[in-house]
Amino acid sequence: MSTINSQRQALQAALFPGGIPRLWCPTLTHFQAAHMPDPTRIQAHLTALAPQVKGILVPGSTGEGWEMGDDDIHRLLGIVLDAAAVAGIRVLIGVLKTSVEELLACLESLEPLRTHPAVAGVTICPPKGSELSQEALRAGLAQVLARGWPTALYQLPQVTQNELAPETVAALTAEFANVILFKDTSGADRVAQSGLDFGGVFLVRGAEKGGYVPWPRTGGGPYDGFLLSTANVFAPELAELLRLLDSGEQAAAEALSQTLETVVSAAFALVAEFPHGNAFANANKVLDHCRAYGDDALKVEPPLLYGGARLPQSFIVEGIALLKAHGLLPTQGYLRG
């Protein structure tokens, strides 16, 4: 084992004494007013996630992090980190910036949080630009990685307009021991399926399309785990799917996967034309509201988005029907327990 790889292994063990979680979640941000997180609702959601989800990304696309200003992000982190520490959840802070200069400035502002007991590191995307070469992407990320933060690299071509080649990821992981995790939301899965050696970096899939069963290593796939927006809603089911694959119960895993795929696809289609927010946040907020309140979901105002828009009540009606049709709507949700 190379020195870099052994250093990475030691860092991963120090950050995750019980092993790196296999199920991660880019958590929703619940709001009480435009730009104002709701601490009570956020804490309740984290408590509900904690039995199955031991690692979260805050803020991610699903948490509306790309829309938030820096002050809003720091306010949110002040709520989430303390609640996560109590719940036993590790946090990767999403540094969602589109240039190297912005990434470096954001890391500097986050320095006081580096030693917080819940913080496992940061998550960064490549600098934005379809015209950037692989060498430019590597050089830009190298500047950020040189700051020494434990880091998850985030493949998000939907936003960055580019994609890290497997060789670029391999070069970065061979140079920087602080690359501990790689998340791919592209749906193309080129890095994980390349067969290259990434020196023990933990690979998680963030794409919802393509099902769930084929991707974990215990299902014959190339990934160590999931980092999924729908873990906000279906953490128990996704954890059960991993358990089924671990125990070789392939048919049961495939049946569960098919149910989740059907519901998730319908939920994303439901919000596709809504002009505010993004589909990851909106679909999961609809389903989370239904699972949080159960039969009382229509008695509570629908969720707010970062900018102050409220999701339509009709989405909640359809969300309830969708979950009921697949036996996934609790009579009493986690906020009514």
| pLDDT tens digits along 197-211 | 999 999 999 999 899
Q: Is the dihedral of CA 33, 39, 44, 50 positive or negative?
A: positive
DSSP reduced 3-state for 152 = strand
Residue 48, pLDDT > 90, answer: yes
Q: Which two tokens stand for residue 165?
A: 């080649």
Mean pLDDT, residues 306-326: 98
H or E stretch at 3: helix 3-15
pLDDT in tens, 70-89: 999 999 999 999 999 999 99
Q: Which two tokens stand for residue 112?
A: 């006081």
Q: Which two tokens stand for residue 189?
A: 């899965």
Cis check for the bond before 59: say yes or no (omega within 30 of 0).
yes
Q: Which two tokens stand for residue 192?
A: 């994980």
pLDDT in tens, 95-110: 999 999 999 999 999 9
Distance CA 100, CA 229 (A): 26
pLDDT in tens, 124-139: 999 999 999 999 999 9
Check if the beta carbon of residue 215 is closer than 8 Å to that of residue 221: yes
CB-count exposure of residue 289 (10 Å: 0-12, 13-18, 19+) = buried
> Residue 1 — pLDDT band, cuts 50, 70, 90?
low
Candidates 4, 17, 22, 6; CA nearest to 181 is 22
Check if the beta carbon of residue 117 is closer than 8 Å to that of residue 90: no
What class is the 3-235 domain?
alpha beta
Give helix 313-325 / helix 250-271 axis angle, nearest 10°: 160
The residue assigned the tokens 């948490």 is 63
Check if the beta carbon of residue 57 is closer than 8 Å to that of residue 226: no
Distance CA 277, CA 223 (A): 29
AA letter at 54: K
Check if the beta carbon of residue 58 is closer than 8 Å to that of residue 232: no
Which pLDDT score, from 0 to 100, does residue 336 have? 76
AA letter at 105: A
Quick count: other Cβ atoms within 10 Å of Cβ 30? 22
Mean pLDDT, residues 186-206: 97
Residue 337, pLDDT > 80, answer: no
Mean pLDDT, residues 110-133: 97
Distance CA 325, CA 78 (A): 38
Q: For the chain, what is the mean pLDDT?
A: 97
DSSP state, 112? G
Residues 6+ apart with CB under 8 A from 71: none
The residue assigned the tokens 């495939």 is 254
What residues does 184 pair with on adjacent strands? Answer: 155, 205
